[in-house]
Structure 1
Amino acid sequence: MPAPRELADLPYAEYLQPFRGRLESEGTYDTVHFDGNGFEDADCGGARFMECAFSSVSFTGGHYRRTRFNDVWLHTVRWVGADLAETEWLDAEITSGAFAGVEAFSTRMRRVTFSHCKFDSVNLRAAALRDVRFADCLLRDVDFGGATLTGVAFPGSTLDGVRLDDVRMTEVDLRDAAALGITSGHDRLRGAVIGSPQLLDLAPVLAQVLGIEVRDR
């Protein structure tokens, strides 16, 4: 897997302009560099970010519902208690980010890579993820209930208290995950690929889900 890109590696790096002003609802931000900004309770619903870069930015609270992120790069960005529901992410790269207490239900992501990110109590119910990679991430108390996962992989990532109720999976690769701490939805693993050691770890729960009684004698 290629290493995360640096800011200077972006094809639009030379065109980036520093952010000035404030975030606005339905606003359009094209080739803008957000550097060291802190946003609290911003109302930015329906905005569009295209070929933008975010460095050491924090979002605390705020309304970003139905915002679009297209070809964006985020490094060391923190989202705390933010409303990211119904957002759309296309060709995005997020490195060393943190998402805590975030509402991201009905989010749509395609060709998105998360590297060394932490997710804590994130609501991704009914989300649609296609060609999304969680590399060396921590996913704690993340709810994928009712989500559709297609071509999603978790290399090096730790799943802790993840819920998969009513998830639909297609070509989901869990083989290289560091830990599969799945709280619920084991019966929805159809369409996932796991390794033999992981199968042994999951066997007791899968047997219980399938109603299989295991006896040594």
Structure 2
Amino acid sequence: MHTPAPRDMPSLPFAHRLEPFTAELERDEVYEWLHIDGRDFDDADGGMTRFSECALSSVTFTGGRFRRARLDTVWLDNVRTVGSDLAETSWLDAEWRSSLLAGTQLHGSQMRRTVFHHCKFDSVNLRAAQLRDVTFVDCLLRDVDFAGASLTDVSFPGTALDRVDLTGATLTRVDLREATALGITSGIEALKGATITTLQLFDLAPALAHHIGLTVKDG
């Protein structure tokens, strides 16, 4: 599977159209061709907003409500979301680089053709989310909840899964072969729609045996 390479902002096809954004974010607005750089947003309310062909760099969102926001063709570099509500957001052709999502609510969100490069997910809620054509490259997913989520054509090259919950998730053509760790705490049965390596199968064997009630004793 082809792993997309990260892009710098000047290489974006819409880079020449970007204008600096210095105002505050507001609900139900349309933001196009904006570059948001070096900003801190505390408890911002950006629900129902739409971002199209925008770039965000060195931006921190602490708290805040962005439910049902729509982000089409958005590039994010060194962005931090801490305790932010991004539930039911829609992501299309988005690229994240070197970013942190901590305590972030993304349940019910939809992501398509989205890639994460060198990002850290810590205690992120992705319950009932829909991910299609999503790639996690060299990321860390710790305490991430995919319960009830749908993952289609998703891959994890160079990414470590640590205490990930897949309870009730549906996996279709999910490629885990290049993941560096498969720490799955719940929902091991959801892996029936995934592809793994033989070595990964050995690592997962205790959890799989426990799931089917298989007792393994030597001697």
Q: What is the identity, as a one-letter code, of the residue corresponding to 1:26? A: D
- Provide structure 2 residue ranges, at least 5 long, that are not aligned to the other structure: none
- Corresponding residue of 1:165: 167
How far did residue 208 of structure 1 move?
Answer: 1.1
- 1:173-184 → structure 2 map (5 Å cutoff): 173-184=175-186
Q: What is the identity, as a one-letter code, of the residue corresponding to 1:154? A: F
Query: TM-score, normalization: structure 1?
Result: 0.99
Q: What is the identity, as a one-letter code, of the residue corresponding to 1:118? A: K
Residue 50 of structure 2, aligned match among 21, 26, 48: 48
Residue 125 of structure 1, aligned match among 124, 127, 136: 127
CA distance in 2, matches of 1:122, 1:37: 22
- SS across alignment from 2:162: strand
- Corresponding residue of 2:88: 86
Percent identity for Structure 1 against Structure 2:
58
- SS across alignment from 2:192: coil
Q: What is the identity, as a one-letter code, of the residue corresponding to 1:182? A: I
- SS across alignment from 1:189: helix
- SS across alignment from 1:129: strand
CA distance in 1, matches of 2:183, 2:112: 25
How far did residue 2 of structure 1 move?
Answer: 3.8
How far did residue 41 of structure 1 move?
Answer: 0.2
* CA root-mean-square deviation: 0.7
- Corresponding residue of 2:27: 25
Q: What is the identity, as a one-letter code, of the residue corresponding to 2:52? A: M
- SS across alignment from 2:31: strand
Q: What is the identity, as a one-letter code, of the residue corresponding to 1:102? A: T
- Provide structure 1 residue ranges, at least 5 long, that are not aligned to the other structure: none
- Corresponding residue of 2:7: 5
CA distance in 1, matches of 2:60, 2:114: 20
- Corresponding residue of 1:215: 217
How far did residue 148 of structure 1 move?
Answer: 0.2
1:60 aligns with 2:57: no
CA distance in 2, matches of 1:3, 1:43: 32
- 1:68-217 → structure 2 map (5 Å cutoff): 68-217=70-219
Structure 1 ranges of 4+ moved more than 6 A: none
Aligned length in residues: 217
Distance 1:166 1:2, change over 3 A: closer
How far did residue 43 of structure 1 move?
Answer: 0.5
